[in-house]
Amino acid sequence: MLYNRALMPGKTPRTIQVVSHGPSCLDGVMAAATVARFYDGHKVFTTLAGNNEADSVIGGLTLKSEDNSDEIWITDLSWNSPATGAHLKELAERGARIFWIDHHRTAVSRAGAPEFKVPFAGKVLSEQYSAARLTFNFLKKMARDLPERQRAAFDSFEPFVMIADDHDRWVHKIPESSEWALAVQTLGGSSSFREILKLHEPRMSRKLRTAFESGQDAMRRSLELAHATMVDRKLGNGITVRTACCFGYSSEVAAQLYQGQTHTVVALFDLRSQGVSLRRSADSDVDLSVLAQHFGGGGHAAASGLMIPDLRRVPAERLAEILGDQLEKPAT
């Protein structure tokens, strides 16, 4: 995706590549939009990638500028393969300036891993704020060297960033933050990214508002599916694992499933994304990032995600059993 506005007279365009968490994560979308807003007037190429796509997307990056002076921003996302780190190192040696900003525990805890031995031009790894807010704070320091008008234009994006931070960290002091998250999930990350960059104040465009309203109905259907497929398994250590299927909106559905529960881990298999979302009840101290990392996923202590490819076969296998049992019965 290319975002490029008209350049100011005499301004030399630079090539900026952004890879951020997606495809429909409010924080990842807003982090990417923060970079694009800062580099308004330059050539900004943005890719929104899921956790399971990070290595292939980042490992496939190529330099686009004639003099290899690209800036590469990786936000709200990490990678697992040493080959990916080696690729980034090679791009840096060829002239690219690489920035990495992430707030997931699985990234923070592995900061010294071999795959992260990259000569970054800038790096922020912290669980203090969302990735969008960490990105904004980092760029705000860089903005000190901008002309006053450009600096003010960038500063005006802060209310958008705070909406993402409020929702991603479950602060929920901004009532409309959950509405923005639902709108982005429904509309999709790429379209939401474009819509957000058109806005001058944190008020949804007509397209985002329509997506939010449509998302409310879709979320209700996803919740109905979760209730219909819900299974509880009590473990010997006192933890209850509550599993279910959903069709998108996993964060919102999970919040309903762990409401009022104690010592409960909720695991949702999203039939739309084919991923598994992990959440926990308020009293639980299970570190879900560790659980997710065991399966190649990642996230935070209270909210993580992973992929288990074998799960895709389970519904078909069960359906074959049910129908097969009936078909094997003698005809009467």
Q: Could you report the per-residue pLDDT of 18-77, keeping only the tens digit for each?
A: 999 998 999 999 999 999 999 999 999 999 998 889 999 999 999 999 999 999 999 999
Query: By the 8 A CB rule, do 18 and 47 touch?
Result: yes
What mean pLDDT is reported for the chain? Answer: 93
pLDDT of residue 174: 96
Q: Which fold has domain 222-315?
A: Diaminopimelate Epimerase; Chain A, domain 1 (3.10.310)
pLDDT tens digits for range 234-284 = 999 999 999 999 999 998 999 999 999 999 999 999 999 899 999 999 999
Query: By the 8 A CB rule, do 87 and 58 touch?
Result: yes
Q: Does 218 score more than 90 pLDDT?
A: yes
Q: Does 4 score more than 60 pLDDT?
A: no
Q: How far is CA 276 from CA 102, 173, 305, in A?
A: 21, 28, 6
Residue 73: which of 3, 20, 131, 27 has the closest Cα?
Answer: 20
pTM of the model: 0.87
Q: Which fold has domain 2-168?
A: Rossmann fold (3.40.50)
Query: By the 8 A CB rule, do 186 and 212 touch?
Result: yes
Banded model confidence at residue 11, pLDDT cuts 50, 70, 90: low
pLDDT of residue 128: 97
Domain ranges for the chain, please list them. Answer: 2-168, 222-315
